[in-house]
Amino acid sequence: MPQGVLRTLLAVAVVSSLPATARAAKQGGDPPSPAAGFATAPCAFHVPAGQKVRCGWLTVPENRVGPGGRTIRLHVAIYASRSPHPAPDPIVWLVGGPGGRAHDLSSRLFHRVVAPYLATRDFIVLDVRGTGYSQPALSCPEDRTAPGWLQACRDHLRTVADLSCYNSASVAADLADLRRALRIREGNIFAESYGTRLALSTLRDCPEGVRAVVLDSVVPPEADQYADGPSKFEGALSALFEDCARDAACNGAFPTLRATLLEAADALDASPRRLSGTWHNVPLAVRFDGRQLLQAVDLTLYESDMVSSLPWAIAHAVDGSADSTWLEVIGRHEIFVSRRIVDQGAHLSYACAEEVPFTDVARLRKEDDSRAGMRQAATGLSIVEACRAWGTRPTGRRETMAVTSRVPVLLLSGRYDPVTPPSYARQAASHLANAQVFEFRGLGHWLTANEVTSCPQRLVLQFLDDPRRKLDAACVADKPPAWRLR
């Protein structure tokens, strides 16, 4: 339930117990608004072993337009730098989704998400409004097969939250309150996937105190994400097929990949199979028909450590020898992401306010129809329908406009990313005066957490060291994956 207001005095009183970043900037910024405050508290999530972490609650107004209403609490974690003298500008990390649970994800993937950056800076993670351990969390029942689950979830959440207040503009104001409450003079934003939209909104609305921004897998607010969906999937798939065709060994083993994929989808439609097994001890069973195959291909393009196996898995989609590959990627997304890492109520509230109302549904249908062989594997029609039931008020057209800024920004994208393609990074960068853009040929989505290469992390560290310096991009090798051939 919403908590009472924490006064500015309380935020000031806890500064001495915070890591060096908050202490070092004790003269920075304006005081928090009367409805915002920070208080230390035990961490609500599992803290990685051996890490020094301070946690607490940032209390902010739920409604940023109508003052005097109820407040909500956002759970914050400040990972202390390993340096005895950390840089005074911490990193604030924003996860994607929308609706991603930042603490659960960053603690589970600590050594990829947080640890590389602690050598020089504190690293701040927060569950943005509506997500994770923040209160209220906009969570829906895990079983989404029950009749009427969407309406039931919506009706329940309306008793604890004004769903129209959960959007990127409100998060930008929350981040400004966080900076002021922790007395951080200047900080950096590090965002991935939909978190990049939150970061861009912050650059637009609350740029004070933002030193530099890293955008990994970019979501520009002006892009029509859902209408673009079918062409984005097609583009990522074509890029992978082209790279395989250019490689003598891959082309020799899989010379007709596109035809092979569509033939396999036809065969599975004619004779669907059932994939069953476990994913990390969780039972998993799916009906494997043509559309499920195409959806699994789409999901695999996200996964940088799995794309090298995709041509082989397509070639063996019908005979069953690639079933473990398909179960792995489906498990990652259907169990880990959908059930454990994303709050569906928050996902819908953000998307139904600032994405779906501005979707060109006619173009989306046309894109689907023109790619009948893709079996609507990447369609946005399902969320368009869900948003009709969700019933959130749309934000204004301002939320669909490109963001301009002179703050230094690093933009990273993967050639095989089927949801935030390199064209999105270039589109956003065209409006940013001090942007550096890098595309990684052999990678998919969320580059800085990939297990294939540490190059994206190294670029981020270089950039944060001096955001206005031209980066040494020697590690961004233009080479395809090491293809699995058998």
Looking at the structure, tell me whether residues 219 and 263 fall in a common domain: no
Average pLDDT over residues 179-198: 97
Looking at the structure, tell me whether residues 178 and 268 fall in a common domain: no
CATH number, domain at 133?
3.40.50.1820
Looking at the structure, tell me whether residues 12 and 84 fall in a common domain: yes
Residue 22 above 50 pLDDT?
no
> Residue 323 half-sphere exposure, CB side, CA atoms within 13 Å?
16
Average pLDDT over residues 40-53: 96
Question: Do the beta carbons of residue 405 and residue 199 sit within 8 Å?
Answer: no
pLDDT digits (tens, 9 = 90+) for 296-329: 999 999 999 999 999 999 999 999 999 999 999 9
Distance from the Cα of residue 27 to its chain's centroid: 33
Share of the chain above pLDDT 70, in %: 93
Per the omega criterion (within 30 degrees of 0), is the bond before 136 cis? Answer: yes
Q: Is 348 within a domain? A: no
Given this model, what pLDDT does residue 27 score? 31
Q: Is 481 within a domain? A: no
Residue 24 above 90 pLDDT?
no
Given this model, what pLDDT does residue 101 score? 96
Backbone phi, then psi, for 12, in 5-degree steps?
-65, -35
Q: Is 195 within a domain? A: yes
Looking at the structure, tell me whether residues 38 and 125 fall in a common domain: yes
Average pLDDT over residues 423-437: 98
Q: Is 232 within a domain? A: no
Residue 334 above 60 pLDDT?
yes
Q: Is 374 within a domain? A: no
Residue 3 above 50 pLDDT?
no
pTM above 0.85, yes or no: yes
Question: Do the beta carbons of residue 81 and residue 334 sit within 8 Å?
Answer: no
pLDDT digits (tens, 9 = 90+) for 75-126: 999 999 999 999 999 999 999 999 999 999 999 999 999 999 999 999 999 9
Looking at the structure, tell me whether residues 315 and 415 fall in a common domain: no
DSSP 268-330: HHHS-EEEEEEETTEEEEEEE-HHHHHHHHHHHHH-TTTGGGHHHHHHTTTTSTTHHHHHHHH
Residue 69 above 90 pLDDT?
no
Question: Do the beta carbons of residue 404 and residue 221 sit within 8 Å?
Answer: no
Looking at the structure, tell me whether residues 300 and 210 fall in a common domain: no
Looking at the structure, tell me whether residues 44 and 106 fall in a common domain: yes
Looking at the structure, tell me whether residues 216 and 292 fall in a common domain: no
Question: Do the beta carbons of residue 100 and residue 125 sit within 8 Å?
Answer: no
Average pLDDT over residues 345-358: 96
3-state secondary structure 130-149: ECCCCECECCCCCCCCCCCH
Q: 55-69, 420-434, 470-484 — which one is most confidently predicted on average?
A: 420-434
Looking at the structure, tell me whether residues 203 and 72 fall in a common domain: yes
Given this model, what pLDDT does residue 300 score? 97
Q: Is 477 within a domain? A: no
Looking at the structure, tell me whether residues 77 and 133 fall in a common domain: yes
Of residues 441, 447, 445, the one with CA closest to residue 477: 441
Interhelix angle 361-370/381-390, rounded to 10 degrees, is 150
Of residues 244, 190, 130, 241, the one with CA closest to residue 446: 190
Residue 242 above 50 pLDDT?
yes
Rounded to whole angstroms, the Cα distance separating 357 from 50 reads 46
Residue 432 above 70 pLDDT?
yes
Given this model, what pLDDT does residue 23 score? 34
pLDDT digits (tens, 9 = 90+) for 138-160: 999 877 778 889 999 999 999 99
Average pLDDT, the chain: 90
Q: Is 334 within a domain? A: yes
Q: Is 309 within a domain? A: yes
Distance from the Cα of residue 194 to its chain's centroid: 4
Least confident window among 19-33, 100-114, 340-354, 428-442: 19-33
Structural domain of 308: 256-341
Given this model, what pLDDT does residue 155 score? 95
Residue type at position 397: R
Q: Quote the number of domains for the chain.
A: 2
Residue 20 above 50 pLDDT?
no
Q: How confident is the model at residue 337 (pLDDT cuts 50, 70, 90)?
A: confident
Given this model, what pLDDT does residue 243 score? 95
Average pLDDT over residues 404-429: 98
Residue where one domain finishes, among candidates 326, 341, 356: 341
Looking at the structure, tell me whether residues 215 and 89 fall in a common domain: yes
Of residues 177, 133, 202, the one with CA closest to residue 37: 177
pLDDT digits (tens, 9 = 90+) for 246-290: 999 999 999 999 999 999 999 999 999 999 999 988 899 999 999
Residue 19 above 90 pLDDT?
no
Rounded to whole angstroms, the Cα distance separating 417 from 420 reads 6
Given this model, what pLDDT does residue 65 score? 85
Residue 303 tokens read as: 């996964």
Looking at the structure, tell me whether residues 69 and 171 fall in a common domain: yes
Of residues 379, 117, 428, the one with CA closest to residue 229: 379
Q: How confident is the model at residue 9 (pLDDT cuts 50, 70, 90)?
A: very low
Average pLDDT over residues 176-189: 96
Q: How confident is the model at residue 33 (pLDDT cuts 50, 70, 90)?
A: low
Beta strand 53-61 with 71-79 is antiparallel
